[in-house]
């Protein structure tokens, strides 16, 4: 782990920073990632210590963070936007910068789902497994998230 | 629904170097947690009365390489992933005399066990070089083996695996 630290650190941090959009949080999650990785290697559970494996841990840490954030929001009695059934009128062309900014304003579960599905490009089944939801629930969550993103995106001045 | 439009959100990883203080602090943290490096080398120490004779014996007869000989009373040899330390009793460190005057000494029955591909051929070659054997070749469980002595009287076991031989797989 120490051997690949200097190579892997900018990759892990570079993965986390734009996805959490805040340096302090990206540092916390980067530290959590490496500490967990050291723990796993000490138990001898890891055949191949490499950057891809570390980024996978970072992804888990990010999802865990959003899960905690969602719990905190629920305890503050904030209500998620219920956009089920809303049409999903994305144009062919999308201003990625505006869309990324809009993404950061979504509730944590929706942000997590869209990040894994689109920013990371994971198949829906993998998104479901990361989020600990069924495939069907994940598809529903993604549909709501797309609709909510669309609404903010239009407010932010996207096409 | 055109989810393809959202594929424009794809964000490849662009490496970003974090703050130096953060990077250094995290490195210290994982170094502490990682603990000492686990070495694959097994190390054994033998006591010998004549260091020169012992180094020559192990290097000429049993395929050891001399790694270090920093003093007249200590040498470090390697054979594959085995490290053999040779110490003259009464010196410093691992060979020091105990407070009650006890001095470590060579000999006894404990020994390192070295695998050879052809035991009979190896034994024949060593007998020609007048190496002393304490036993003849005997057939044990899953190995054939023999005991020889180094010039100080330490035992070395040579063995050749047979059917049923077991070692933990590497990896």
B4: closest chain A residue by CA: A92
Domain annotation covers residue A88 = no
DSSP 8-state assignment for residue A2: T
Domain annotation covers residue A85 = no
Cβ of residue B129 closer than 8 Å to a chain A Cβ: no
Contact B119, B145 (CB under 8 A): yes
Do residue A105 and residue A150 come from a single domain?
yes
Rounded to two decimals, the ipTM of the complex is 0.82
Which of A22, A38, A116 has the most B C-beta neighbours within 10 Å, making it the best mutation to test the interface with B? A38
Q: Which residues of B touch A93 (CB under 8 A)?
A: 5, 8
* Residue B62: partners with Cβ closer than 8 Å, 6 or more residues away: B79, B114, B156
Do residue A59 and residue A30 come from a single domain?
yes
Mean pLDDT over A1-9 rounds to 86
Q: What pLDDT is attached to residue B17?
A: 94
Number of continuous H segments (helices) and E segments (strands) in chain A: 7, 0
Lookup result for tokens 């089944």: A125
Which of A96-100, A109-113, B163-167 ranks highest by mean pLDDT?
A109-113
Contact A6, B6 (CB under 8 A): no
**The tokens of A49 are what?**
């210590």
Tell me the three-class secondary structure of chain B, residue by residue. Answer: CCHHHHHHHCCCCCCCCCCHHHHHHHHHHHHHHHCCCCCCCEEEEEECCCHHHHHHHHHHHCCCEEEEEEECCEEEEEECCEEEEEECCCCCHHHCCCCCCCCCCCCCCCEEEEECCCHHHHHHHHHHCCCEECCCCEECCCEEEEEEECCCCCEEEEEEECCCCCCCCCC
Q: What pLDDT is attached to residue B115?
A: 92
Q: Which of A16, A23, A59, A53 is nearest to A38 (CA)?
A: A53
Q: Which of B38, B32, B36 is nearest to A31 (CA)?
A: B32
Tell me the domain boundaries of chain B.
Answer: 42-89+103-161
Q: What pLDDT is attached to residue A77?
A: 47
Instruction: Tell me the CA distances in angstroms from B127 to B61, B149, B164, one per residue in order.
Output: 10, 12, 29
pLDDT for residue A86 is more than 70: no
Q: What is the pLDDT of residues B102-136, one digit of tens each?
A: 889 999 999 999 999 899 999 999 999 999 999 99
Q: Which of B7, B16, B34 sits opposite A42 (nearest CB)?
A: B34
Q: Which residues of A touch B21 (CB under 8 A)?
A: none
Stated pTM of the model: 0.56
Q: How far apart are CA A7 and CA A55, in angstroms?
A: 12
Cβ of residue B36 closer than 8 Å to a chain A Cβ: no
Strand order in the sheet with B82-87: B42-47, B82-87, B74-79, B65-71
- Backbone dihedral angles phi then psi of residue B160, each to the nearest 5 degrees: -125, 125
Q: Which residues of A touch B4 (CB under 8 A)?
A: 92
pLDDT for residue A41 is more than 90: no
Q: How far apart are CA B115 and CA B81, in angstroms?
A: 12
Q: Which residues of B touch A100 (CB under 8 A)?
A: 9, 11
pLDDT for residue A84 is more than 70: no
Q: How far apart are CA B86 and CA A56, in angstroms?
A: 47
CATH of the domain at A111: 1.10.10.10
* Percent of chain A's residues with pLDDT above 70: 86
Q: What is the pLDDT of residues B14-55, one digit of tens each?
A: 999 999 999 999 999 998 887 665 566 889 999 999 999 999
* Percent of chain B's residues with pLDDT above 90: 69
Range of the domain at A24: 5-75
Domain annotation covers residue A108 = yes
Q: What pLDDT is attached to residue A45?
A: 73
Do residue A60 and residue A105 come from a single domain?
no
Do residue A113 and residue A147 come from a single domain?
yes
Q: Which of A19, A35, A114 sits opposite B29 (nearest CB)?
A: A35
Count the Cβ atoms, other than its own, within 10 Å of residue B96.
13
Confidence of residue A154 (pLDDT cuts 50, 70, 90): confident
Fold of B42-89+103-161: 2,3-Dihydroxybiphenyl 1,2-Dioxygenase; domain 1 (3.10.180)
Cβ of residue B32 closer than 8 Å to a chain A Cβ: no
Do residue A69 and residue A101 come from a single domain?
no
Confidence of residue A85 (pLDDT cuts 50, 70, 90): very low
Do residue A15 and residue A54 come from a single domain?
yes
Cβ of residue B38 closer than 8 Å to a chain A Cβ: no
Domain annotation covers residue A87 = no
A42: closest chain B residue by CA: B34
Q: Which of A6, A8, A21, A4 is nearest to A119 (CA)?
A: A21
* Percent of chain A's residues with pLDDT above 90: 58
Do residue A63 and residue A23 come from a single domain?
yes
Q: Please tell me the total number of residues recorded for chain B in this structure.
A: 171
pLDDT for residue A156 is more than 50: yes
Q: Which residues of A touch B34 (CB under 8 A)?
A: 1-2, 38, 41-42
A40: closest chain B residue by CA: B34
Number of domains observed in the structure of chain A: 2
Give A117→chain B minimum CA distance, Å.
9
Q: Which of B129, B127, B128, B152 is nearest to B137 (CA)?
A: B127
Confidence of residue A73 (pLDDT cuts 50, 70, 90): confident
Cα B147–chain centre separation: 19
Q: Please tell me the total number of residues recorded for chain A in this structure.
A: 159
Do residue A12 and residue A67 come from a single domain?
yes
């Amino acid at each position: 782990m120490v051997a690949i630290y200097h190579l892997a650190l900018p990759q892990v941090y570079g993965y986390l920073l734009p996805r959490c959009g805040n340096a302090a949080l990206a540092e916390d999650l980067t530290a959590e990632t490496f500490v967990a990785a050291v723990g796993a290697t000490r138990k001898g559970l890891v055949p191949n210590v490499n950057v891809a494996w570390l980024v996978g841990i970072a992804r888990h840490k990010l999802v865990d963070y959003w899960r905690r954030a969602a719990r905190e929001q629920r305890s503050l009695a904030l209500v998620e936007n219920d956009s089920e059934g809303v049409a999903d009128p994305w144009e062919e062309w999308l201003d990625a910068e505006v869309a990324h900014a809009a993404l950061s304003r979504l509730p944590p579960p929706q942000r997590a789902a869209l990040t894994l599905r689109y920013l990371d490009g994971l198949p829906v089944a993998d998104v479901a497994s990361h989020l600990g939801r069924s495939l069907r629930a994940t598809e529903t969550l993604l549909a709501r998230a797309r609709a909510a993103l669309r609404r903010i995106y239009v407010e932010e001045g996207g096409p | 629904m055109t989810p393809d439009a959202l594929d424009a959100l794809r964000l490849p990883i662009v490496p970003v170097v974090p703050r130096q203080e953060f990077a250094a602090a995290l490195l210290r943290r994982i170094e502490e947690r990682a603990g000492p490096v686990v070495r694959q080398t097994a190390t054994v120490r033998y006591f010998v009365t004549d260091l020169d004779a012992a180094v020559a014996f192990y290097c000429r007869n049993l395929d050891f390489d001399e790694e270090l000989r920093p003093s007249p009373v200590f040498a470090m040899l390697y054979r594959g992933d085995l490290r053999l330390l040779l110490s003259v009793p009464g010196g410093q460190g691992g060979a020091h005399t105990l407070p009650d005057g006890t001095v470590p000494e060579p000999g006894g029955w404990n020994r390192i066990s070295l695998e050879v591909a052809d035991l009979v051929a190896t034994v024949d070659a060593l007998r020609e070089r007048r190496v002393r054997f304490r036993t003849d070749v005997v057939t044990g469980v899953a190995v054939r083996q023999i005991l020889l002595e180094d010039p100080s009287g330490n035992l070395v076991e040579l063995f050749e695996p047979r059917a049923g031989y077991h070692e933990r797989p590497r990896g």
